[in-house]
Amino acid sequence: MGDEDSTRGRPPRKRHADSMIENMSSPDPRKPSAALDEARLRQQAIGVRLRQMFDEVVNEDVPDEFLEILRRADGKTAENG
């Protein structure tokens, strides 16, 4: 009698609960370690892209204006001694 009561009151077995949560929250049934690798891969991919974006500007030709301004400034210092 007492046994029956305690069984009824108990929540479902823990392992069962976990797998249910897993199935509900994530459509991806893979192991956590695989998901971690995947996340790392994605972060690396974003990193590659980020550098690419920056390097695109780095690789542009520098407008003449920059060197012109610097040359003028340099000439001024030379004149002033």
In Å, how far from its chain's centre is CA 34? Answer: 16
Question: Considering only residues 3, 4, 5, 60, which one is a binding residue for another protein as defined by CB under 8 A?
Answer: 60
State which amino acid sits at residue 47.
G
- Counting contacts by CB under 8 A, is residue 25 touching another protein? no
Longest C-alpha distance within the chain, in Å?
A: 106
Taking CB under 8 A as the criterion, which residues in 40-59 touch another protein? 41-55, 57-59
- Counting contacts by CB under 8 A, is residue 79 touching another protein? no
Q: How far apart are CA 42 and CA 48, in angstroms?
A: 10
- Nearer Cβ to another protein (22/55): 55
